[in-house]
Amino acid sequence: MTKARPLSLITGASAGIGAAFASALAARGHDLVLTARRTDRLEALAEELRGQHGVNATVLTCDLADPHAVEQLCTTLEERGLQVDWLINNAGYGVPGRFDQNDWPVHADFLRVLVTAPTELAWRLIRGMRELGYGRIVNVASLAGHVPGTAGHTLYAASKAYMIKFSQSLALENQELGVHACALCPGFTRSEFHDVTGTRSLVSKMPAFMWQNAEAVVQEGIDAVERGEAVHVTGWFNRTVKSLFKLMPDRLALRMSAKQSKRYRAQDSAG
């Protein structure tokens, strides 16, 4: 059964989609555990949401690239008696450039943050959800996980495709127990993501209809996981893109993806 005040854990909560999830869930009366690397931003957000909605907001600074981070985070939750009802696996970023031009530790950190850490968090927290007969897991994936991979940001689409398949299996395993899992797949979203990856000047040229704000993405995600959807692509434009690529022959889809990706992906020369 749903608790009067569910507790939501949100990774990457300091900005963008993560901060929007925190605001939306606080407005629904959820207590929060906010985690990211930037303590100052988390504290400011927590203070704001406490004042606006009267919720409890706990800040636990965490770098998910640390192999021990998830275990330490969950130990802290247990020590404080915090039972997570909603898990929002949102933390993420992109690594621009050709695959071989980045050092392996850069890729290893990326895979821990976008693949290993969210998977481990789900593994550690879902048992409590199953015991209570209620839980929600939102894995923030991407439209990129549904279309062919592109040159540059080599691991990004692959990591998001993994999260989609993982969410589907997780949903099927737990749907009879009141625990819903959903891969949320936005496209272009107004956030700091493109500033961090150095592609702001490229994506700023994209038409306005291709973009969504973080609040709209989050509302679709909350509605989708509550309905029990295993995968949800946000926005009419992104759903259209997904459908078109699904209908295309693989060779044509890959060629089109390669052509379009040059408009918004940071790429290095092949030589």
- Provide the pLDDT for residue 192: 53
- Residues whose CB falls within 8 Å of the CB of residue 154, separated by 6 or more in sequence, listed in order: 95, 98, 99
- Collapse the DSSP code of 28 into the 3-class scheme (helix H, G, I; strand E, B; otherwise coil) and give the result: coil
- Residues whose CB falls within 8 Å of the CB of residue 207, separated by 6 or more in sequence, listed in order: none
- List the catalytic residues: 156
pTM value is 0.89
**Given pLDDT bands bounded at 50, 70 and 90, which one contains residue 16?**
very high
Residues 171 and 149: their CA atoms lie apart, in Å, by 25
For 171-230, how does the pLDDT look when each residue is reduced to its tens digit (9 = 90+)?
999 999 999 999 999 998 876 554 444 444 445 556 675 779 999 999 999 999 999 999
**Given pLDDT bands bounded at 50, 70 and 90, which one contains residue 271?**
very low
Residues 65 and 108: their CA atoms lie apart, in Å, by 8
- Provide the pLDDT for residue 199: 46
First to last CA, the chain: 58
User: Who has greater pLDDT, 3 or 212?
Assistant: 212
Q: Which helix (H) or strand (E) holds 139?
A: strand 135-140
Mean pLDDT of 4-28: 97
Q: Is the CATH number 3.40.50.10950 carried by domain 7-261?
A: no
For 122-139, how does the pLDDT look when each residue is reduced to its tens digit (9 = 90+)?
999 999 999 999 999 999
* Sign (positive or negative) of CA dihedral 228, 233, 234, 236: negative
Q: Which of 254, 253, 36, 2 is nearest to 135 (CA)?
A: 2
Domain ranges, ordered by start, for the chain:
7-261
